[in-house]
Amino acid sequence: MSSVLRIALIGTGRIGKVHASNIASCAETELTVVADPMVESAQDVARRFGGTATADPLAAVDSELVDAVVVASPTPTHIELIEACIDRGIPVLSEKPIDLDMGRVEALRPRVERATSPVAIGFNQRFDPAIAEVHRRVGAGEIGPIEHLAITSRDPGPPPPAYIAVSGGIFRDMTIHDFDLARFFVGEIKEVTAVGSCLFDLSAREHDDFDTAAVTLKARTGAIVTITNSRHSAYGYDQRIEAFGGGGLLSVENVPASHVTVSNSSQAAAHRPYVEQFLERYARAYANELDAFVAWVRTGESSSPTFEDGRAAQVIAEAALRSARAGRTVNTDEIS
């Protein structure tokens, strides 16, 4: 392995460009190959951040210039690319979800267990500095065992109709980050109760999805997690967490677009709306996620979410969808 970790990036959409920028900015990594079937996009990213461009993702995996791979391509491609990396002994960081079909996820599981190289899944929110601090302080016993975890996640607006059609729905696409955070804080989840409505997004209605959802989880410890989701928020990206225990409360508030307030005859201490995009809200988290993956490859020690973390979050997502459809609480053992 070279002195810097040579990385191939597969996929050059919004998330891919974030990864490209972080790889290029990190002193320990170099972007050497960029792959996308839309080769013009790959060429543009390579010009901006380094490396050579190709339209063939497998050619990127096979390149002699590559020590590790970051997969940011559409979800249906994830399993094939993870398998290719495993077969070649190349470390891989793949965006979530692993796949929209739990059967395919389960079929991949034995191969990951036998893998000789790291397989990480991109749950970047664990690496947000504020969330990571709360997790550390909970682990240090500052508020005692968590009794209730409250997560609020509201996007500024719904995604494009074409994305809704292939996303797998709100629970697999959006809430899955919250399901991972739930496990991050309270451990394994036993019961899932979800309700969903379609109140404003015609595309969600067309694809039998929800634009508004609420989920209650019960951990095997007995801790309760409540999650509130919406596909629109008039005041910006709404991301908050509260961890409550017998010793107190630790919370993460929203990130303001500006720290300047205004007070006048019509308002007091008024702020501008919160930041409007998850890429802005979690910019530091994405960079820290890459650092953790590099450390895993270099040292064998990992704080990166694993394939098992990705699978477990998806089990909860499948249970939530089943619960919302059937109007009953679903035990995660029914899914796994």
Best CATH choice for the domain 5-117 from the list 3.60.21.10, 3.40.50.10470, 3.20.20.70, 3.40.50.720: 3.40.50.720
Q: In angstroms, rounded to a whole number, what is the distance separating the alpha carbons of residues 84 and 88? A: 6
Total-model pTM: 0.95
179 secondary structure, DSSP code: H
User: Where does CATH 3.40.50.720 sit in the chain?
Assistant: 5-117
Q: Which long-range contacts (CB under 8 A, 24 or more apart) does 40-49 make?
A: 41/12, 42/12, 44/12, 45/9, 45/12, 45/16, 45/17, 45/20, 48/20, 49/20, 49/21, 49/23, 49/24
User: Where does CATH 3.30.360.10 sit in the chain?
Assistant: 126-278+313-334
Q: Identify the pLDDT of residue 3.
A: 86
Q: In angstroms, rounded to a whole number, what is the distance separating the alpha carbons of residues 292 and 303? A: 6
Q: In angstroms, rounded to a whole number, what is the distance separating the alpha carbons of residues 202 and 210? A: 10
Over residues 116-159, the pLDDT tens digits come to: 999 999 999 999 999 999 999 999 999 999 999 999 999 999 99
Over residues 59-84, the pLDDT tens digits come to: 999 999 999 999 999 999 999 999 99
Average of per-residue pLDDT across 11-31: 97
Q: In angstroms, rounded to a whole number, what is the distance separating the alpha carbons of residues 249 and 15? A: 33
Regarding the domain delimited by 126-278+313-334, which CATH topology (the fold level of the hierarchy) does it fall under?
Dihydrodipicolinate Reductase; domain 2 (3.30.360)
Residue 280: both structure tokens together: 């802005």
- Residue 102 banded pLDDT, cuts 50, 70, 90: very high
Over residues 255-288, the pLDDT tens digits come to: 888 888 899 999 898 888 888 777 888 999 999 9
Q: Identify the pLDDT of residue 256.
A: 85
Query: Where on the phi/psi map is residue 89: left (φ > 0), alpha (ψ -120 to 50), or beta?
Result: left
- Residue 233: strand, helix, or coil: coil
Sheet strands (E) in the chain: 5-10, 29-35, 52-54, 68-71, 92-95, 119-122, 146-154, 189-197, 212-219, 224-230, 238-245, 248-252, 262-264, 267-270, 330-331
Whether 310 contacts 196, CB under 8 Å: no
